[in-house]
């Protein structure tokens, strides 16, 4: 283990008086590493960094440390201390650049100002390893805007993304297309019928993501040969658990893996000039539609939210302050009742909130002011209906539109809406 700063307790002092402020400011954390292996060869291809507090104190476990840090408003700094400790340990151990390093991080930490000592540790390690930032499924569900923004920052640094604790919050499965993780982590206990009621739903979503993107499935909690067989039955190609090694110090020497972990193709960052309509008509021209036809297409998608057996995300741009189907805006609550997340851009949001829906105002110069769209996306279903009134010089009346189901295009359009909702402070 590597300790950034080791407090020397006086004789008879057991550390009982240690405060979380002292722990964080004194960088009193240690890092242990647990190997990640390929299940077919058991070759070590990476390590997960696990932070630990001072032994024998009230902050020895990560849960104790971070609970106290949250209460003191120091979560972000403790998170950075943990990351810096992991990077420092990896540099000191001479970890090969082909070896992957999995780092747990809170989405709200990225982009924070770095204290000088932590900045030196992070800059000194940048580009030296294959880093995978690990976000929890719960974080993705709690704050999708911050998590997606953090993922964009990670991608811009050339890092990979790992999504952990999949299955803990099944509604977050609808958000997987935005996280677009290179590695998805599942626990082998997932298949025990008496411990996880959503196992089939979760495995279908994870398998579909891996099949579409070539992402790797990593099974954790493998402690026996029987659990290893279970992991393989889940489609996992990577494994982690006591069968392959307990958390501890990095080995003094490590051989580069023969097959380093690959990164999948990321979604391009959302650009202000991009809009759902422009994305939908980039490859094929817009089609004409009457208002009634457009309303019928939109009504079908709105009904789909409640009918889909899997978690689904609903996004829309409604400059007219009514649903694209023609229903009043107040109907959004019932339309999106079954959605994992619902977000809508409007010219002028109403004074009252609509339960379960993130409402945000568009900027005056936003090209979305002249567009209408409805987007649904989940583990297995993706649809985009984008329209605008016919342009001057074309036959009067009606709309031009595209309805498409290409998942990559739908996900890019959805990120355009999400980016604007986050920029509006939601």
111 within some domain: yes
Cβ distance 160 to 261 under 8 Å? yes
- Do residues 229 and 343 both lie within one domain? no
271 within some domain: no
> What is the rounded distance in angstroms from the CA atom of residue 39 to the CA atom of residue 47?
14
**pLDDT at residue number 240:** 97
As given in the structure block, the two tokens for residue 258 are 């023969």
Quote the pTM value. 0.87
Q: Environment class of residue 192 by beta-carbon count within 10 Å: exposed (0-12), middle (13-18) or buried (19+)?
A: exposed
269 within some domain: no
Q: Which residue has the tokens 């297995």?
A: 380
- Do residues 397 and 346 both lie within one domain? yes
> What is the rounded distance in angstroms from the CA atom of residue 132 to the CA atom of residue 160?
4
List the CATH number of the domain containing 132: 3.20.20.450
For the beta carbon of residue 102, count every other beta carbon within 10 angstroms.
Answer: 26
236 within some domain: yes
255 within some domain: no
List the CATH number of the domain containing 312: 3.30.870.10
Query: Which of 189, 212, 240 is a domain's end point?
Result: 240
- Do residues 205 and 62 both lie within one domain? yes
- Do residues 194 and 65 both lie within one domain? yes
Query: Which of 240, 263, 285 is a domain's end point?
Result: 240
- Do residues 30 and 158 both lie within one domain? yes
Residues spanned by the domain of 79:
2-240
246 within some domain: no
- Do residues 286 and 392 both lie within one domain? yes
For the beta carbon of residue 359, count every other beta carbon within 10 angstroms.
Answer: 20
As given in the structure block, the two tokens for residue 378 are 């989940």
- Do residues 220 and 92 both lie within one domain? yes
- Do residues 182 and 114 both lie within one domain? yes
One digit per residue, the tens of pLDDT, for the chain of length 426 reads 444 444 444 444 556 789 999 999 999 999 999 999 999 999 999 999 999 999 889 999 999 999 999 999 999 999 999 999 999 999 999 999 999 999 999 888 887 888 888 888 888 787 888 999 999 888 888 888 888 888 888 888 889 999 998 877 788 888 888 889 999 999 988 766 555 667 888 899 999 999 999 999 999 999 999 999 999 999 999 999 999 999 999 998 889 999 999 999 887 766 767 899 999 999 999 999 999 999 999 999 999 998 888 999 999 999 989 999 999 999 999 999 989 999 999 999 998 899 999 999 999 989 999 999 999 999 999 999 999 987 655 555 589 999 999 999 999 999 999 989 988 775
Query: Which of 196, 217, 240 is a domain's end point?
Result: 240
Q: How many CA atoms lie within 13 A of 386 on its CB side?
A: 28
7 within some domain: yes
Least Cα distance to 201 among 383, 411, 378, 414 occurs for 378
**pLDDT at residue number 264:** 93
- Do residues 222 and 307 both lie within one domain? no
Total tally of structural domains belonging to the chain: 2
- Do residues 206 and 293 both lie within one domain? no
Q: How many CA atoms lie within 13 A of 334 on its CB side?
A: 8
59 within some domain: yes
């Amino acid at each position: 283990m590597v300790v950034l700063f080791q407090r020397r307790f006086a004789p008879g002092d057991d550390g009982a008086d240690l405060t979380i402020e002292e722990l964080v400011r004194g960088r009193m954390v240690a890092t242990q590493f647990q190997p990640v292996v390929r299940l077919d060869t058991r070759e070590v291809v990476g390590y997960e960094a696990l932070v630990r507090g001072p032994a024998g104190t009230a902050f020895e476990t990560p849960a104790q440390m971070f609970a106290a840090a949250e209460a003191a408003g120091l979560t972000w700094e403790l998170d950075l201390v943990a990351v810096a400790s992991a990077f420092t340990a990896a540099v000191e151990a001479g970890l090969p650049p082909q070896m992957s390093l999995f780092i747990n991080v809170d989405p709200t930490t990225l982009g924070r100002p770095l204290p000088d000592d932590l900045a030196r540790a992070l800059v000194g390690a940048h580009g030296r390893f294959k880093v995978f930032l690990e976000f929890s499924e719960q974080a993705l569900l709690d704050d999708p805007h911050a998590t997606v923004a953090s993922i964009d920052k990670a991608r811009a640094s050339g890092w990979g993304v790992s999504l952990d604790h999949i299955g803990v919050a099944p509604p977050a499965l609808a958000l997987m297309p935005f996280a677009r993780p290179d590695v998805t982590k599942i626990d082998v206990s997932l298949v025990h019928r008496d411990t996880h009621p959503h196992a089939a739903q979760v495995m279908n979503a994870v398998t579909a993501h891996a099949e579409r993107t070539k992402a790797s499935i990593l099974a954790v909690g493998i402690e026996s040969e029987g659990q290893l067989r279970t992991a393989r039955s889940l489609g996992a190609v990577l494994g982690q658990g006591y069968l392959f090694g307990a958390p501890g110090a990095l080995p003094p020497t490590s051989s580069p893996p023969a097959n380093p972990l690959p990164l999948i193709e990321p979604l391009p960052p959302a650009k202000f000039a991009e809009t759902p309509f422009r994305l939908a008509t980039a490859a094929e021209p817009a089609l004409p539609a009457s208002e009634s036809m457009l309303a019928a297409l939109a009504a079908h998608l709105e009904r789909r939210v409640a009918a889909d057996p899997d978690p689904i995300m609903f996004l829309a741009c409604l400059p007219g302050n009514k649903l694209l189907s023609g229903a009043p805006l107040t109907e959004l609550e019932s339309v999106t009742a079954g959605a994992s997340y619902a977000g809508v851009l409007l010219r002028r949001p109403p004074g009252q909130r609509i339960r379960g829906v993130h409402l945000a105002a568009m900027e005056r110069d936003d090209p979305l002011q002249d567009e209408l769209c409805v987007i649904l996306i989940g583990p297995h279903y993706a649809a985009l209906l984008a329209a605008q009134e016919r342009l001057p010089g074309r036959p009067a009346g009606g709309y031009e539109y595209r309805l498409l189901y290409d998942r990559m295009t739908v996900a890019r359009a959805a990120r355009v809406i999400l980016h604007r909702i986050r920029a509006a402070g939601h």
